[in-house]
Amino acid sequence: MLKKFNEKYTKTLNISKVEQLTFKWQFTGFPEIVNVNDVFTYLEFNLKTQFNKTQENDIQDKIEVLRQFFNKYFNLIDLKTIENPNIVNDFLLKFYTNIRDFINTVFVEYVLYSHLHSEIKYKEQFIDIDDYYELKLNKLNKTLIKQTLITLNSLNKNDEKYSQIINELKQEK
C-alpha cells in the first residue's frame, strides 16, 4: 500500500510562497518525505546563500522529526490485518497533506526567518521564530494523532491491541 501511494505522489513538486520568495521542493515518498540535499539546494538558491553546518544540521533535524512522526504513527497500523485498503490510503493522503502543508508554510517560514534572524508575526504579535516553529510543530503532532486515532478506530474491530494503542494516543492528545 505504501509503495502504491509513493508511486502516485513521489516527485510531486510543491511550491511555497513566503514574503516575495517562491520555494520549490519535491515529495520523495514516505518515510523519507524529502531529499535533504535537494531541500538545501532549493533553499540556498532561493535565499541566495550558503548554509553553514549549524544551519544544515538544524534543517536536517527538523526534517528528521517529520520522518519520525510518520514512522511512529504509520507503524501503529498492522498492514497485514487490513481488509479495506482505502482506510490506509486515506490515512496516507491526509498524512501527506498535513506534512506538505506544514512544510509549505511553517518549515519554509522558519528557514526564511531564521536566516534573517527575525521574529515572525503571529496572532497580531511578533514572536521568536523558534517558539513559533515549536508551537506549529505541536499543533501538527496533535493533528496527526487525531488522524491516526480516526484510522485506528476505523480498523478497530474489538481488537485489544488497537484498543490499547487508541487509549495511549488519547493520552498524548
pLDDT score, position 84: 79
Kindly state the cell numbers that stand for 126: 511578533
Query: How much is the pLDDT for 158?
Result: 66
At 160 the pLDDT is 77
Instruction: Give 107's pLDDT tier (boundaries 50, 70, 90).
Output: very high
Q: Which of 60-74, 99-113, 151-165 has the lowest mean pLDDT?
A: 151-165
Quick check: pTM over 0.75?
yes
Please give the Cα distance from 83 to 72 (Å, whole number). Answer: 22
Would you tell me how many other CB atoms lie within 10 Å of the CB of residue 24? 14
Residue type at 151? T
CA dihedral 81, 70, 156, 166 (to 10 degrees): 140
Residue 3 has pLDDT above 90, yes or no: no
Q: What 3 state SS string does the chain have?
A: CHHHHHHHHCCEEEEEEECCEEEEEEECECCCECCHHHHHHHHHHHHCCCCCHHHHHHHHHHHHHHHHHHHHHHCCCCHHHCCCHHHHHHHHHHHHHHHHHHHHHHHHHHHHHHHHCCCEEECCEEECHHHHHHHHHHHHHHHHHHHHHHHHHHHCCCCHHHHHHHHHHHHHC
Segment of 14-28, 88-102, 151-165 carrying the highest mean pLDDT: 88-102
Distance between CA 148 and CA 156 in Å, rounded?
A: 12
Cell of 29: 515518498
**For the segment 130-171, what is each residue's pLDDT rounded down to a tens digit?**
999 999 999 999 999 999 999 888 876 667 777 888 888 888
- Locus of grid cell 524529502: 34
Quick one: pLDDT at residue 126? 94
Q: What is the pLDDT of residue 157?
A: 61
pLDDT at residue number 164 = 83
- Predicted confidence at residue 82, as pLDDT, reads 76
pLDDT number for residue 21 = 82
